[in-house]
């Protein structure tokens, strides 16, 4: 299995995040990517390649140009307004909630609120470099699939599935899975499916494709009545317009174990098969793990081998995009177990 990876991810290095009403140590940190990269090398799954140059036009097919401009120019604007050049973590503090106008202000504080949807996603001097490199990893992985590869692992960091068409949040800035799916469509795949197995609903991916019938999105996640992102990911969200019927959410209760999770996975895979996808993008979140610090499912490390094996039954070409997972000490084992299960099952058919 080819892995695409960029060390540029380390330039996004948050120290703190907002949680439970206070600043706490950040959990979406560079060691997440470093640990998985080291484990992939040791496991010897196959070649590891750097990404190609990011195609800005591709990014703007899933994100609005003004939003991409904001991300790219953010740190220079921060410096131009006389803010602290030593700042590592910056947060919005005001949002255009219902009753206010969602406009692009001249002032940076207004723009941060305009282009975000939570207060827990810090930006810093290296955020754009890392996020754009992460997107290029996903783009490149999709390109290798279009070139004939059967499966590719896109070791993306920061993650992407929460990134909306024009807003960041949930530690995500550019939607890597959506960029991969769009790249596959551009290269000739008539139908692409995105399967999100992160603990949290991929609200950004859903929003990007919600009115499109060419990309089927399905997500297995903690019930948003009880978990982030709360305001998207419910079972009654089935798509709109041309996309009606091309969106399937499978919310599960807090405390879900493998037995219940595997049933939901079968439901999602059956829907993908019915859709007839020519290629699949998997948003691989490993935060369904029993010891993840911000999640409340109970999958074990052995269960990730079972997850990978189930995913390996898919016959369409697959881009596996790394998303969440914050139990850093266990992340490498869980990633390797997933990919091992996938490759073993894929090899045997």
Angle (CA) 263-264-267 rounded to 5° is 95
- Helix ranges (H only) for the chain are 30-43, 56-62, 65-80, 108-114, 127-146, 176-186, 203-209, 258-275, 301-311, 328-348
> Exactly one of 161, 162, 200, 346 is catalytic; which is it?
162
Q: Which helix (H) or strand (E) holds 17?
A: strand 16-19
Say how many C-beta atoms besides its own lie within 10 A of residue 89's C-beta. 17
Say how many C-beta atoms besides its own lie within 10 A of residue 97's C-beta. 8
Residue 92 near residue 109 (C-beta atoms within 8 A) = yes
Whether 162 sits among the annotated catalytic residues: the reply is yes
Beta partners for residue 319, in sequence order: 152, 281
Residue 168 near residue 71 (C-beta atoms within 8 A) = yes
What are the catalytic residues? 162
């Amino acid at each position: 299995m080819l892995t695409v990876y960029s060390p540029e991810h380390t330039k996004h290095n948050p120290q703190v995040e907002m949680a439970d009403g206070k600043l706490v140590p950040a959990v979406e940190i560079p060691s997440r990517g470093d640990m998985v990269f080291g484990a992939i090398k040791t496991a010897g799954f196959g070649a590891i390649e750097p990404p190609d140059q990011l195609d800005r036009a591709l990014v703007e097919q899933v994100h609005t140009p003004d939003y991409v401009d904001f991300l790219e120019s953010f740190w220079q604007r921060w410096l131009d307004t006389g803010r602290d050049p030593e700042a590592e973590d910056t947060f919005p503090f005001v949002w255009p909630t219902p009753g206010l106008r969602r406009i692009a202000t001249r002032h940076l504080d207004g723009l941060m609120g305009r282009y975000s949807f939570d207060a827990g996603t810090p930006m810093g001097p290296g955020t754009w470099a890392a996020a754009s490199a992460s997107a290029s990893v996903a783009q490149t992985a999709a390109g290798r699939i279009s070139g004939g590869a059967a499966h590719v692992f896109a070791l993306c960091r920061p993650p992407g599935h929460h990134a909306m068409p024009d807003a960041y949040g949930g530690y995500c800035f550019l939607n890597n899975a959506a960029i991969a799916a769009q790249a596959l469509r551009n290269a000739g795949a008539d139908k692409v499916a995105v399967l999100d197995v992160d603990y949290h609903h991929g609200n950004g991916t859903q929003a990007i494709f919600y009115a499109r019938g060419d990309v089927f999105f399905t997500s297995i996640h903690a019930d948003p009545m009880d978990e982030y992102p709360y305001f998207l990911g419910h079972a009654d969200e089935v798509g709109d317009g041309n996309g009606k019927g091309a969106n399937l959410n499978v919310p599960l209760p807090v405390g879900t174990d493998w037995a219940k999770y595997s049933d939901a996975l079968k439901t999602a895979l059956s829907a993908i098969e019915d859709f007839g996808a020519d290629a699949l993008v998997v948003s691989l979140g490993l935060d369904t793990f029993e010891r993840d610090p911000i999640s409340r499912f109970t999958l074990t490390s052995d269960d990730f081998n079972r997850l990978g094996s189930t995913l390996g039954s898919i016959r369409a070409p697959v881009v596996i995009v790394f998303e969440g997972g914050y139990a850093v000490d266990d992340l490498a084992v869980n990633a390797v177990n997933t990919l091992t299960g996938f490759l073993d099952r894929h090899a045997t058919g």
